[in-house]
Amino acid sequence: MIARIPEVVSIASLNAHYGLRSDGEPFDVVDACRSLDADVIALQEVWWPDGGGGWIDELHKDGYQLAELRLARAGLSPNPDVCPEPADGTGWWGVAIASRIPLTNPEPIDIGKTPLDAAGRRSALRVGVNTGRAEPISVTAVHATHYFPLAPLHHRRLARLLRGSTRSVVCGDFNLWGPLTGLSFRNWQRPARGRSFPAHRPHSQIDHVLVTSDLQVEHAEVLGDVGSDHRPLRVRVAIGPPSGLVSPDSLLEPILTAGSRRPCICLPTLSDEADGRPTGSTGNDQ
């Protein structure tokens, strides 16, 4: 298969909330992703049920290339949540990047563990998006802790590890308002402005797309409700004229996991013992 690369790449971010609406009813994540009309989608709260067959598999069948990072055991009953006891989980929770453009060089970025967070040690997922230019665009998906005073710890760790990056986009659920998020990501653009949470009647923007200053943002917006409890964001970034055609067939081959029939990167073990989730959380978002 040969991919023709556009001169403008659209990148979206969506917290998929396990594929569930705020009332616990499922929504069509694949249809939601199609509606974003994006070349690359950074997904948070991805759900991999034990035994397979989840909506992430349907995304692959729909033609998306996938990089996947499983972070913690989780369950859907009585409410979708990370499980303090891994044995109680019925699947995995994490982040992923879905793309219509070839991906390359996926890597987890360790952003550490914060107190009170049942998810334990978190990582962001970074990939290269092969645009056919001299160097790819880097896209990172991140989901910071939902404990308000502690989310900046994840932000600062990620910003420090990405210091000096060029042609880079960071997308995700930062669980913090834009001006405070910007304190960690100084000199990064934050072009998509608008309330994103909760989706049915948003009062805050805790989801962000950050772009390095060397990339020109053509358009940015917070989109409408697609089914999740978060609203998605989308930016269009100019990357210049194409230098040719790209064959994606071999780009993801080095990261095929054993027994997998699709390209992915997975961390199927917990890095640390998970802490119990105390009461007093600042919200229902993980």
Tens-digit pLDDT profile for residues 143-201: 999 998 999 999 999 999 999 999 999 999 999 999 999 999 999 999 999 999 999 99
List, in order, residues 6 or more apart from 208 with CB less than 8 Å away.
13, 170, 171, 172, 174, 178, 181, 190, 192, 233
pLDDT single digits (tens) 240-258: 665 544 444 434 433 333 2
pTM listed for this prediction: 0.86
Q: How confident is the model at residue 131 (pLDDT cuts 50, 70, 90)?
A: confident
Averaged pLDDT score across all residues of the chain:
86
Could you report the per-residue pLDDT of 44-98, keeping only the tens digit for each? 999 999 999 899 999 999 999 999 999 999 999 999 999 989 899 999 999 999 9
Within 8 A by CB and 6+ apart from 29, the residues are: 16, 19, 55, 58, 59, 227
Residue 177 pLDDT: 97
